[in-house]
Amino acid sequence: MVDANQPGRTGQLASGFAALGDPTRLALLTTLTDGQARSITALTEGFKLSRQAISKHLRILEAEQLLACQRVGREMRFALRPERLNDLESFLQAVSHQWDLRLERLRDHVEG
């Protein structure tokens, strides 16, 4: 069972995917895949957006637990949190898997 219809579950997954559903946020995530924690101003470099815009995106990713942030002196260091990615990934896997099973059943039915 894919089970995305359970009350809270669907909403959690959806908001997780929604957080990934923006090119700026995807880019932020991918720059953080090297494991290096970065400050907001550091992450702002390379974008044509204002610091505030980037800050908002970072907060969204943090709220979805895709990033962890930690205060260091006067700056906020953001780092990737891959656990949640696995969570979303396994949802996609579950759907694909369901589909594969369906194909198998179909084949068995035709062949058998």
Partner DNA sequence: ACTATATGCAACCATTTGGTTGCATATAGT
Partner DNA sequence: ACTATATGCAACCAAATGGTTGCATATAGT
Site string for DNA, 16-45 (x = CB under 7 A): --x--xx-x--------------xxxx---
Using CA atoms in the order 89, 91, 95, 101, what is the torsion angle rounded to 10 degrees?
Answer: 90
Choice from 53, 63, 72, 103 touching a copy of itself (CB under 8 A): 103
Pick the closer one to a copy of itself by CB: 72 or 101: 101
Contact range with a copy of itself by CB under 8 A, out of 12-20, 37-45, 51-59, 70-78:
12-20
DSSP character at residue 31: H
Helix (H, G, I), strand (E, B) or coil at 69: strand
Size of residue set near a copy of itself by CB under 8 A: 40
- Identify whether the C-beta of residue 95 lies closer than 8 Å to the C-beta of residue 17: no
